[in-house]
Amino acid sequence: MNAPAPKPWVLDIAPYIPGRATNDGGRPVVKLSANENPLGTSPEAKAAFAAAQASLERYPDPGATALREALAAAHGLDPARVIYGTGSDELLHLAAGAYAGPGDEAIYVRYGFAVYDIAIRRVGATPVVALDRDYATDVDAILAAVTDRTTLVYVANPNNPTGTFAPAAEIARLHAGLPSHVLLVLDQAYAEYLEPEDDDLGLQLVEAHENVFVTRTFSKIHGLAAERIGWGYGSVAAIDAMHRIRAPFNVTTAGQLAAIAAVGDTGFVERSRAHNRQWRDWLAGEVAALGNAGLRAVPSETNFLLVLFEGPVSAETAYKGLMDAGYITRWLPGQGLANGLRITIGTEEQMRGLADALRGIVG
């Protein structure tokens, strides 16, 4: 008797490994492994979330109308072309579901976001990895990987887990080099951490071309990771296709209300960005001071630093040492980064404590 057989491409998926929240003893420690906002959540978003309990018996607005209108007003977009997802993760899956299947190829950059490989394999398509250039997105390598079978390209900008950023001119060059039938998915999960003048102009590319889809999230700077809410912007045809395959009520009422309030609380976003810039630069300086121990931070435009261990003390040793000292970071051997630790920027106290611990481990 044969048991039901999962599709072979599904069994080829390496499961996503989330950032840990406890150490081996189960003791809660400082979690710097998931790029969450150390300032928490906008108070206005929290109040909106709390108010949602007045209508828990009702299904959420399936069209997320007020949220789409708030996003469109904030970014100067057409609300009809804004789509929303259970986290931007869902949107990355919707892009694959609508534009890739068995026989198709989808490209992402080595050391790209782990969800791309899962989204591509889930639909039976073939992932193609383009090499990076010193951990950063290499536009020429992506363009060289395009074949007749390519239907999708995923680029996170800035990228996770490297923190690197490709400026607008590079993204424009990438787009210009792609055949018009290839959909460029520009994942802007960390866009709000950029200085305003560093915009990669992805949303403008969507306005001008049918083959660009931008995704954003409320999980990072907006501090709403628990509610699982993201949004995307694309062509009329792309949004239509993705609506056909998304779950009917994919964004909760509380999530929609909290997200609308978060969009309005620009002060919270500003404070979060300023805090992040200050303590990311500070931590990068601390890492640079450990250069003679072989440590180096990859230049970051995000709310984390990828620290490379190229000296006698390995990233694994540092990961375990930091864990013992009460700091959980992200060690990513499964993504080919056995020599690196991704460290989320936390509070001042957390950053000072982590730097002390790191000095003790490698010094």
Ligand X SMILES: *Cc1c(COP(=O)(O)O)cnc(C)c1O
Stretch that binds ligand X, among 5-13, 16-24, 83-91, 143-151 (CB under 6 A): 83-91
Residue window 98-137: x/- pattern of binding to ligand X, with contact defined by CB under 6 A: ---------------x------------------------
Among 217, 256, 303, 335, binds ligand X (CB under 6 A): 217
Minimum distance of ligand X from residue 160's CB (angstroms): 3
| Residue 140 CB neighbour total at 10 angstroms | 14
Q: Is 160 in the site for ligand X (CB under 6 A)?
A: yes
Q: Is 189 in the site for ligand X (CB under 6 A)?
A: yes
Q: How far apart are CA 336 and CA 319, in angstroms?
A: 16
Q: Point out the residue whose Cβ comes nearest to ligand X.
A: 87
Residue window 256-295: x/- pattern of binding to ligand X, with contact defined by CB under 6 A: ----------------------------------------
Stretch that binds ligand X, among 132-140, 213-221, 231-239, 336-344 (CB under 6 A): 213-221
Number of chain positions touching ligand X (CB under 6 A): 14
Q: Is 187 in the site for ligand X (CB under 6 A)?
A: yes
Minimum distance of ligand X from residue 88's CB (angstroms): 4
Residue window 219-238: x/- pattern of binding to ligand X, with contact defined by CB under 6 A: xx----x----x--------
| Residue 75 CB neighbour total at 10 angstroms | 14
Beta bridge partners of 229: 86
Which residue, 60 or 255, has its beta carbon nearer to ligand X? 255
Among 94, 139, 156, 174, binds ligand X (CB under 6 A): 156
Which residue, 90 or 170, has its beta carbon nearer to ligand X? 90
Q: Can you give the three-state secondary structure of 85-149, one letter per residue?
A: EEHHHHHHHHHHHHHCCCCCEEEEECCCCHHHHHHHHHCCCEEEEECCECCECCHHHHHHHCCCC
Which residue, 224 or 238, has its beta carbon nearer to ligand X? 224
Minimum distance of ligand X from residue 113's CB (angstroms): 4
Provide the residue type at 206 as one letter: V
Q: Is 200 in the site for ligand X (CB under 6 A)?
A: no
Minimum distance of ligand X from residue 222's CB (angstroms): 10
Q: Is 88 in the site for ligand X (CB under 6 A)?
A: yes
User: Which phi and psi angles does 213 have, rounded to 5°?
Assistant: -130, 125
Among 36, 89, 138, 200, binds ligand X (CB under 6 A): 89
Nearest-10 crossing angle of helices 348-362, 315-324: 130
Instruction: Catalog residues that contact ligand X under the rule CB under 6 A.
Output: 35, 87-89, 113, 156, 160, 187, 189, 217, 219-220, 225, 230
